[in-house]
Structure 1
Amino acid sequence: MRRIAVLDIGKTNAKVLVVDLTTRVEEVLARTPNAVVRDGLYPHHDMEALWAFVLSGLKLAAARGVDAVSITTHGAACVLVDGQGDLALPMLDYEHDGPDSVAAGYEAVRPGFEATGSPRLPLGLNVGAQLFWLERAFPAEFARARHVLMLAQYWAFRLSGVAASEATSLGCHTDLWNPWQGRFSSLVSRLGWEGLFPTIRKAADVLGPVLPSVAEATGLPVGTPVLCGIHDSNASLVPHLAEAPCGVLSTGTWMIVMALGGRAVELDAARDVLVNVNALGQPVPTARFMGGREMEEIMGGRIVEPSPGDLLGVLEGRVMAMPSLHPDTGPFPGKRFGWLGGEPEGGARMAAASFYAALMGAECLDLAGAEGPVIVEGAFGGNMAFLRMLATATGRVVRGSGQGAGTGLGAALLAGPLGVKAAPAVEVRPEVDPMWTGYVGAWREAVARH
């Protein structure tokens, strides 16, 4: 197989792209906001609008010629479908606070961190909490559910008609999976949900050909295989599975920091550390924070390129952002965002925000026990201010992806041999200038006092 169509359904945006496995070039064909609908039973994603987008995007892909369809999606997302394949309930937006209303009951039944690698997270960030709330708030609708499908496997189901479960999606802080034993956690049997989850398949498994109706709507050849699909952060790991030990930052709305083959550390669930599962079924220590969301909020959506003068001014003035805008997540829970050294504007603000994100990323790498080079995929992969500060803060070589999100390539590589090393677009070494190293030390001291 050479050309793979990829559905990349992120929390903020949805894309359809084509990846050429021989050149590793990703071509984005279509993009749309993944908007949250605020009416109805609760805030939810518009699956039919997304389905129309998927079909139109695959029609563009079919015109270019593709050999298979793969899927990658954000985590903390599941879909309940009935016996006819329709939605039994709308797909909950994980930022809705409904699950918090039954938090005490859920705490009483969820397994501990030592059994699942899942910290207790707010809102619907634990899929188990989503299901627990939905079953109690909407019992009649929940009872109609034939399957609980993780989001990537829902889209595979829409394309192929085959229902499946998959470990990378089940293993991303859901409370539903035991990553060390490679099976469902005790929560699933305790709440009688075993029959709702279809057979476990590997991310790279072909579930079947596209349905005839999909072939007709898109122009994809009859028989085009549909892969089971993968959680987006773990898609970013696929090109680097042969490079362990290394740290991988998958950056988008979230910055997901994963340690492949790192040192053994005691994982601190209170600091947003968890265990993911990679495409080979292996547990992966992980730390995270809302890096992309915080960058967007700091910059008010106005992303600019800082000049050398901007970088110098921020370094010399020790202008620093303190964590964090989303204090319920990330490595410094409870700490509130603020500025030291004055509030910058324009390019200086972008420099300070990039440094802040890099220093938070370095903290996450340490918490996950990462060793070896650091690979940055996604939105931050071409941000040189970020890459330079990350290299300085970690004392390691940092490789940036440049263009491309990493998730699309990783999802496409499921159709090819796993474990083929990726070539970095940008390689950055630690700065030795005392202005840079001094900034790192000063930021860490300030956070400790903050």
Structure 2
Amino acid sequence: MQKIPVVAIFDVGKTNKKLFLFDENYKIVYEKSARFTEIVDEDGFPCENLESLQLSVYNSLREVFRRQEYEVKAINFSAYGASFVCIDEEGKPLCPLYSYLKPYPEELQKHFYDTYGGEEEFTKVTASPVLGSLNSGMQLYRMKYEKPELFKQMKYALHLPQYLSYLISGEAYSDITSIGCHTNLWDFQKGAYHAWVKEEGLLEKMAPLAPSDSVVPATFPGSNYMVGVGLHDSSAALIPYLVNFQEPFVLLSTGTWCISLNPFNSTPLTKEELQRDCLRFMQYKGKPVKAARFFGGYEHEQQVKRIAAHFNQNTAHYKTVAFDPEIINKLQREQALVSGTTPSKNRLQESVFAQRDLASFASDTEAYHQFILDLVTQQVASTQLVLEGSDVKRIFVDGGFSKNAIYMNLLAAAYPDKEVFAASMAQATAIGTALAIHRHWNAKPLPNDIIELKYYAVTHDAKL
């Protein structure tokens, strides 16, 4: 029996840890999922069970290598960001994998920003809003001052994707998609580590930077395969679009957060943009991506519960509500009569619908249309932050809202001068992680059919 050449991809999320095998056409031929119970760090704060994760990677690979039908050509990793594994000279973790949700000491944070030019200037240079532990560089700064002995023992601080790669290759590297994502470590103006990294003695704790699309030989026993250096998951999810589309586009990645990603906008962040949750990170080729986000998916979950309770409906009903342009036109006429204008494009942080009286709506369908109308107004305000200063003609929407006909039609109406598409692709992050090292394992040309697109034309006179 001829073996199927495959690439193995570990996609490590906060909740689910997945292993995929893709064939040369990027079809999933094997899939395995695991979940681990969190442990707690020395302060009693929940954190990743690093030992379970490490064992799972090893055991999963041994299982794959035992299967006679596959020939593993390469392995790569994607994982959530803002998480460091600090290793000693022997490569062993020195401390827990601290959670990026762990509260950051206010005094230490103030001392940091006061020392390095103040919040406004520092956040502009590093394209990193003030996010506490979510700025992963701040975790190392904290360790230096709260656990100096541990800091001295540290050989390298590896972001989680690079640590997973290290487990299999034995080679320690840093990667720009992890270093360049709201870490406080990277100076976007100079294209190098920020000066504080060297001044605080962190530079020597950073493993050498390797290109995100590079591979190294494996030391973990198995077939003759190569190992990628790992990718930050948000950057990985963008790769299939960058591979398939050369014309400038914006990707709206919709889930709990609705994140607008523009890889074709090189304008520096302004003070106002940083205050409105706008940031930059690095795509796998080392170019900056301008990003803006708001809590759209979470807001949808909350307001759908409110509508369902008021109208005595099941929340599942709202997954299939058809788009009704007549309801939208009626709601917009009423809005114009009340305020004398259409909703402001600057309305971003606050959900207007949360303050609306549900008793004023004739039906739950009308209430839901109004909610999505309010939500898309927020979406447009957020997306505008990354659109301005670039010549984008296409907007791709993936994730939950790509399946919402009301959302998609209203978004198309908001951007009549752009092509708006609902995009669907199974396991975008894992496929992106595989595509990053395509040339090292796959002799076939890059695929051009892995993203399904549905075009939304402007078919009514709703304006946002």
Shorter chain as denominator, the TM-score bin is 0.7 to 0.9
Partner of residue 367 from structure 1, selected from 368, 380, 385: 385
Change over 3 Å in CA distance of 1:350–1:71 after alignment to 2: farther
Alpha-carbon shift at residue 296 of structure 1 (Å): 4.8
Give the aligned partner of residue 338 of structure 2: none
- The answer to whether the 8 A contact 1:71-1:156 is kept is yes
- The answer to whether the 8 A contact 1:239-1:419 is kept is no
Instruction: Kindly report the root-mean-square deviation, in angstroms, between the aligned alpha carbons of the 2 structures.
Output: 3.6
Alpha-carbon shift at residue 431 of structure 1 (Å): 3.4
Give the aligned partner of residue 238 of structure 1: 239
- The answer to whether the 8 A contact 1:210-1:222 is kept is no
In the alignment, the residues of structure 1 paired with residue 145 and residue 296 of structure 2 have an alpha-carbon distance, to the nearest angstrom, of 33
Partner of residue 260 from structure 1, selected from 259, 263, 273: 263
Q: Counterparts of 1:90-105 in structure 2 under 5 Å?
A: 90-100=96-106, 102-105=108-111
- The answer to whether the 8 A contact 2:265-2:289 is kept is no
Give the aligned partner of residue 77 of structure 2: 71
Give the aligned partner of residue 126 of structure 1: 135
Alpha-carbon shift at residue 95 of structure 1 (Å): 1.2
In the alignment, the residues of structure 1 paired with residue 227 and residue 105 of structure 2 have an alpha-carbon distance, to the nearest angstrom, of 33
Change over 3 Å in CA distance of 1:353–1:125 after alignment to 2: farther
Partner of residue 112 from structure 2, selected from 93, 101, 106: 106
Residue-pair matches, total: 418
Give the SS at the match of 2:424.
coil
- The answer to whether the 8 A contact 1:11-1:34 is kept is no
In the alignment, the residues of structure 2 paired with residue 339 and residue 419 of structure 1 have an alpha-carbon distance, to the nearest angstrom, of 49
In the alignment, the residues of structure 2 paired with residue 312 and residue 282 of structure 1 have an alpha-carbon distance, to the nearest angstrom, of 40
Partner of residue 306 from structure 1, selected from 319, 343, 347: 319
In the alignment, the residues of structure 2 paired with residue 131 and residue 2 of structure 1 have an alpha-carbon distance, to the nearest angstrom, of 40
In the alignment, the residues of structure 2 paired with residue 98 and residue 19 of structure 1 have an alpha-carbon distance, to the nearest angstrom, of 40
Give the aligned partner of residue 17 of structure 1: 20
Give the SS at the match of 1:113.
helix
User: Could you report, residue by residue, the CA deviation over 1:165-186 in whole angstroms, capped at 9, with x for unpaired residues?
Assistant: 0101100011101234332111
Larger Rg: 2
Give the aligned partner of residue 414 of structure 2: 393
- The answer to whether the 8 A contact 1:5-1:16 is kept is yes
Partner of residue 338 from structure 1, selected from 351, 354, 366: 354
- The answer to whether the 8 A contact 2:11-2:79 is kept is yes
Give the SS at the match of 1:93.
coil
Give the aligned partner of residue 427 of structure 1: 454
User: Could you report, residue by residue, the CA deviation over 1:286-323 in whole angstroms, capped at 9, with x for unpaired residues?
Assistant: 11234444445555796665334586797466799xxx
Partner of residue 117 from structure 1, selected from 107, 127, 133: 127
Q: Counterparts of 1:266-345 in structure 2 under 5 Å?
A: 267=270, 268-296=273-301, 306-308=319-321, 315=328, 332-333=348-349, 338-342=354-358
Q: Which runs of 5+ in 1 are unaligned?
A: 213-220, 321-329, 442-450
- The answer to whether the 8 A contact 2:257-2:297 is kept is yes
- The answer to whether the 8 A contact 1:166-1:203 is kept is yes
In the alignment, the residues of structure 2 paired with residue 333 and residue 428 of structure 1 have an alpha-carbon distance, to the nearest angstrom, of 29
The percent of aligned pairs where both chains have the same amino acid is: 24
Q: Counterparts of 1:397-412 in structure 2 under 5 Å?
A: 397-412=419-434
In the alignment, the residues of structure 1 paired with residue 365 and residue 58 of structure 2 have an alpha-carbon distance, to the nearest angstrom, of 40
Give the aligned partner of residue 327 of structure 1: none
User: Could you report, residue by residue, the CA deviation over 1:25-74 in whole angstroms, capped at 9, with x for unpaired residues?
Assistant: 34671233465434533331111222233344445654352321111112
Give the aligned partner of residue 185 of structure 1: 194
- The answer to whether the 8 A contact 1:310-1:347 is kept is no
Alpha-carbon shift at residue 104 of structure 1 (Å): 0.8
Partner of residue 39 from structure 2, selected from 3, 25, 37: 37
Change over 3 Å in CA distance of 1:413–1:302 after alignment to 2: farther
In the alignment, the residues of structure 1 paired with residue 64 and residue 364 of structure 2 have an alpha-carbon distance, to the nearest angstrom, of 39
- The answer to whether the 8 A contact 2:266-2:288 is kept is no
Change over 3 Å in CA distance of 1:191–1:402 after alignment to 2: same
Amino acid aligned to 1:223: N
TM-score, normalised relative to structure 1: 0.80
Change over 3 Å in CA distance of 1:348–1:145 after alignment to 2: farther
Alpha-carbon shift at residue 433 of structure 1 (Å): 2.1
Give the aligned partner of residue 308 of structure 2: none
- The answer to whether the 8 A contact 1:359-1:389 is kept is no
Q: Which shifted more, 135-144 or 90-99?
A: 135-144
In the alignment, the residues of structure 1 paired with residue 371 and residue 169 of structure 2 have an alpha-carbon distance, to the nearest angstrom, of 43
Amino acid aligned to 1:238: I
TM-score, normalised relative to structure 2: 0.78
